[in-house]
Amino acid sequence: MGLLSLGTPLHWNDSKKYADHVRSNGVIQLLNSYKISQGRENDKFYWGDEIEYMMISLDEASRSLKLSIDHDYVLTNLSEDGKNYQAALDNDVLFHPEYGRFMLEATPLNPYDGTSLGDYFKVENNMHRRRFLAIKEIQSENVYPLTLTAFPLMGVDDFCSPSTLPKGCASKSLFLPDEIINKHVRFPTLTANIRRRRGQKVAINIPLYKDKNTRSLDAADPSIPKRELFPYSDNEPHLSAVNPAAKPGHIYMDSMGFGMGSSCLQVTMQAKNLSEARYLFDSLVNIAPLMLAVTAAAPIFRGHLADQDVRWNVISGAVDDRTPFERNEAPLENHPLYGGQTDVEVQKSMLRIPKSRYDSIDQYLGGTEFYKSSYNDLNAPINKKVYDKLLESGLDEELSRHFGHLFIRDPLVLFSERIEQDNETEMDHFENIQSTNWQTLRFKVPSQDSVPNSNKPGWRIELRPMEISLTDFENAAYSVFSVLLSRAYIHYRFNNYLNISLVEDNMKRAHHRDAINREKFYVRTNIEDSGDAYVQELTLDEIFNGSEKRKFKGLIPIVKDFVAVEFGHDANPDDLEKLDMYLELISGRASGATPTTATYFRKLISEHPDYKYDSIVPESAAFDLCLFAKKLSEYNPTTVRQFFGDKIGNWLIAHGYSSIFAKLD
Ligand code: GLU
Ligand code: MG
């Protein structure tokens, strides 16, 4: 999750003094890079995926389930300078740190070539090798790297192994000990500085699912400890024992780890030039909420069934560093209205900030023949000073707005050794702002040494909304699908614009419980038309599988056509068969024929003998759910059939998936 500088991190009270310094130098770094790399042409369509894991301790003998927080040596050993780094390189993979000390992130070492069909079928094998290396490195019985989007018992009683109590001063959480946070000093500092800038702990309230014995939605939540941990400092207002930040009828969470401790699947694609990157970004704006809905995998938070199926808004809340004033609430006493933003003119240009820094994107990048300024109808706040500077330096209106919007945020973690930088060669100040704007899409800028024709990364788009799935088969399917879809959009030059306020609405709908069967999403159906958007509300089935009635071809048929046109002649039949299975999975998920992970998890809990229909997930049920996840990730034949149904299940079994890890050994 971004830049890892080494050094002495600054407390918020010190770092905020440099906020303007970081922004003004960050803009110069951006401009220096832009001047050099705007002329890049004909870059290859390279791409890569990122998978986040959590290490879970699952003891079948004692039926105990814990989050394993003392296996971070796995990451150390497999990362640069680690004793098994070479094994990672030999397997063409790289391991990276993530927010949680219990987390791993892994990517391919080398990018895939999106113009070669064969490369799409290296992805799954590469993912299997990543998981296998992690399994081998853990070397303790009963601890597994699982690709669960959210740990169901996060913040419930004594949920860590080794046992640790929540009394940490970085998060001040009532539920999560600071020991769950990655030990690299950036992460606890990030946690504390978000809280300090905000002036209070983060407060995440997710609607509780109402079952027949669920407590009254007006009643206080008895699972919130009635205690105060700290004498309040950092100008934080006193929170009373009956926590006013907790909304009745909701699952209350008070710490960054509830969000940034979740796992996702991301893909990054390189465009051939700046103009194609802008086109791809804009084309994916409304694909993002759809991919979130179809990968839904998180119906449980802090041991409760939620009345939603995904992680997204939990993370939004978990890193929401806006002050109450910025959120349009009553300001706190003796607390700056705008954090580290002291320029009065800039303050006036921003007014209030409607969304967290982790949220859906607010504006199109434009610069395409289809773009109209009326599509950008959210009026997202911008930092006027940054916007003016970019505009007068030659960036167009939309690019200046895009970065002007990112630069409304303060840098959250600064290292005293890295305050002065060489703006000709370094990008850390820019990246500091860029990489803590966690939106559904990230528009990645080349570094200053990315001169035309160099092999340094060029203009890239990262697609970030997808939830992680339990198996690498699924993660490969979603990665391959989203990249082929992107390639199809570029190939056919579809016009995917609709008012961005409708995309915002789609994002909310993507959160809803069983959105597949109960929701419709706005889509532009006249994608072959350069005129005004014809927008209809379609089910995910209609969107992914197509609908004659709605005159919408469907995303899966689009991908199939593209593959036939682009690769038809030299496609390997085994590859095509696998692609069919990937598309079968996504098609089934979108139509509801194959339940989403979230729906399946709900079923596992609600049918569990220990469940009392009270929306509380018993530890025994959480254990069985994680055991199921573990068996599924190993493609246990019975589990695979239960989860995917006969068609995909039998195909996986017939193709030897159940012994895939044994074969890697
Ligand atoms: N784990 C975060 C998520 O689930 C993403 C962190 C990152 O940017 O890598 O969205
Ligand atoms: Mg990550």
Distance CA 238, CA 384 (A): 35
Cα-to-centroid distance, 474 and ligand 1 (Å): 18
Determine contact, residues 337/326, Cβ cutoff 8 Å.
yes
Cα-to-centroid distance, 344 and ligand 2 (Å): 35
Helix axes 573-591, 637-654, angle to 10 degrees: 140
Kindly give the number of the ligand 1 atom that is closest to the alpha carbon of 266: 9
Host H or E run for residue 475: helix 472-492
DSSP annotation of 215:
P
Mean pLDDT per 10-residue section of the chain, whose length is 665 residues: 74 96 98 93 96 98 98 97 97 98 98 96 98 95 97 98 94 95 96 94 96 93 77 47 76 96 98 98 98 98 98 98 93 86 83 94 98 96 96 97 97 95 96 98 92 88 98 98 98 98 98 98 96 96 98 98 89 93 98 98 98 98 98 98 98 97 88
Cα-to-centroid distance, 175 and ligand 1 (Å): 21
Cα-to-centroid distance, 99 and ligand 1 (Å): 9
Distance CA 292, CA 427 (A): 31
Most ligand 1 atoms within 8 A of CB, residue of 1, 265, 291 to mutate: 1
Which residue minimizes the CA distance to atom 9 of ligand 1?
Answer: 1
The domains of the chain are located at 12-463
Ligand that lies nearest to the alpha carbon of residue 97, given by its number in the listed order: 2
Distance CA 123, CA 134 (A): 17
Most ligand 1 atoms within 8 A of CB, residue of 266, 431, 436, 441 to mutate: 266
Determine contact, residues 535/498, Cβ cutoff 8 Å.
yes
Per-residue confidence (pLDDT) for residue 334, from 0 to 100: 83
Ligand 1 within 6 A of CB of 263: yes
Does this model's pTM top 0.85? My answer is yes
Which residue minimizes the CA distance to atom 10 of ligand 1?
Answer: 264
Per-residue confidence (pLDDT) for residue 365, from 0 to 100: 98
Per-residue confidence (pLDDT) for residue 243, from 0 to 100: 57
Cα-to-centroid distance, 479 and ligand 1 (Å): 15
Which residue minimizes the CA distance to atom 8 of ligand 1?
Answer: 1
Ligand 1 within 6 A of CB of 315: yes
Phi and psi of 547, rounded to 5°?
-150, 120
Per-residue confidence (pLDDT) for residue 88, from 0 to 100: 98
Which residues, including other chains, have CB under 8 Å from residue 533's CB and lie 6 or more apart? 375, 497, 498, 499, 524, 526
Ligand 1 within 6 A of CB of 182: no
Ligand 1 within 6 A of CB of 634: no
Ligand 1 within 6 A of CB of 153: no
CA of 173: how far to CAs of 69, 152, 155, 181, 256, in Å? 17, 17, 9, 12, 9
Ligand 1 within 6 A of CB of 148: no
Determine contact, residues 412/356, Cβ cutoff 8 Å.
no
Ligand 1 within 6 A of CB of 264: yes
The amino acid at 426: E
CATH topology of domain 12-463: Creatine Kinase; Chain A, domain 2 (3.30.590)
Per-residue confidence (pLDDT) for residue 447, from 0 to 100: 85
Determine contact, residues 590/544, Cβ cutoff 8 Å.
yes
Kindly give the number of the ligand 1 atom that is closest to the alpha carbon of 464: 10
CA of 267: how far to CAs of 64, 264, 430, 638, in Å? 34, 10, 22, 31
Residue 230 tokens read as 């700290």
Ligand 1 within 6 A of CB of 467: no
Per-residue confidence (pLDDT) for residue 229, from 0 to 100: 63
Per-residue confidence (pLDDT) for residue 237, from 0 to 100: 45
Ligand 1 within 6 A of CB of 1: yes
Per-residue confidence (pLDDT) for residue 231, from 0 to 100: 55
Kindly give the number of the ligand 1 atom that is closest to the alpha carbon of 103: 1
Host H or E run for residue 67: strand 64-68
Distance CA 589, CA 577 (A): 19
Determine contact, residues 252/225, Cβ cutoff 8 Å.
no
Which is nearest to 6 in space by CA: 274, 187, 156, 152?
187
Cα angle 154-157-162, degrees, rounded to a multiple of 5: 80
Most ligand 1 atoms within 8 A of CB, residue of 356, 438, 469 to mutate: 438
